[in-house]
Amino acid sequence: MRHTLPSPDNAALTGIRALTFLAEDEDLFGAFLGQAGTDADDVRARAADPGFLGFVLDFLLQDDAQVLAFARAAGMAPEEVALARRALPGGDTPEWT
């Protein structure tokens, strides 16, 4: 089944929802901050940046369990998370696997 990409605005909304999901879990958010090399103040300042939101989704997509938990909490299909990532800057890189 072929899915269509969401609009950039809808993809950004998914990224914001994912960021909120991460922030609600202290351990997960700490891991995110560590990987991003940033702090909570910088995250707040960059929360509307589509490129940063792509990084948020990249972080989430590293772990299937996280994707499933987020999708369940957000009321969306897990595939929609990957589609949102593809619609944000940097998400159009080809998959070589």
Q: What is the rounded distance in angstroms from the CA atom of residue 74 to the CA atom of residue 30?
A: 21
Positive or negative, the Cα torsion across 31, 37, 41, 44? negative
pLDDT at residue number 96:
47
Encoded amino acid at 60, one letter: L
Q: Is the pLDDT of residue 45 over 80?
A: yes
Average predicted confidence (pLDDT) for the chain: 92
Instruction: Give residue 28's identity as a one-letter amino acid code.
Output: L
Of 4-8, 42-46, 63-67, where does mean pLDDT reach its minimum? 4-8
Instruction: Report the pLDDT value the prediction gives residue 19, as an integer from 0 to 100.
Output: 97
- Taking alpha carbons only, the member of 88, 74, 95, 81 closest to residue 24 is 74
Residue entry with tokens 């899915």: 3
